[in-house]
Amino acid sequence: LGEALERRLCGMKLRWWLAANLEVVSFMTAIGAGMTVKFFPLFFRVDYHFTPVQVCLLSFVYPLCISGMMQVCRRLGDRLGRILANLLFHLLGTSCLWAMCYFRSLCMVLPLFLLRGALMNARGPLVR
């Protein structure tokens, strides 16, 4: 895989094409996330009739999931490389968001929400 990333495309190493592409996609995702993530507590309150205490509990568990996933992401980054681990977590996080659109059961939506948040936010240390 390392040799494949050293190939050149239009005079530039494929590794740099991937990094630039990932930056553009991450920027677009950040813009979209700013429009959606802030409204998740309202989504759970209205669609799933969460009480304020349940919303607070969800807000408490969310960063715990992120911190656990950061450990997984760090180890995977050491094995796969930072770019590939970042791409994998980005794709999996986006897949979780898409899956949330199709499931209605709280038993499915809640773990998908926590997993999506953990996957998308655990990538932070890899890209810095």
φ, ψ of residue 7 to 5 degrees: the values are: -60, 155
- List, in order, residues 6 or more apart from 1 with CB less than 8 Å away: 81, 84
Beta bridge partners of 9: 12
Tens of pLDDT, residue by residue over 63-97, are 999 999 999 999 999 998 888 888 899 899 989 98
Q: What is the overall mean pLDDT for the chain?
A: 87
Answer yes or no: pTM beyond 0.85: no
Task: Give the Cα separation of 36 and 38 in Å (integer).
Answer: 6
Name the DSSP class of 39: G
Taking 60 as the threshold, does the pLDDT of residue 1 lie above it?
no
Q: What is the pLDDT of residue 29?
A: 73
Task: Give the Cα separation of 40 and 12 in Å (integer).
Answer: 41
Tens of pLDDT, residue by residue over 88-126, are 998 999 899 899 999 999 999 999 999 999 998 898 877
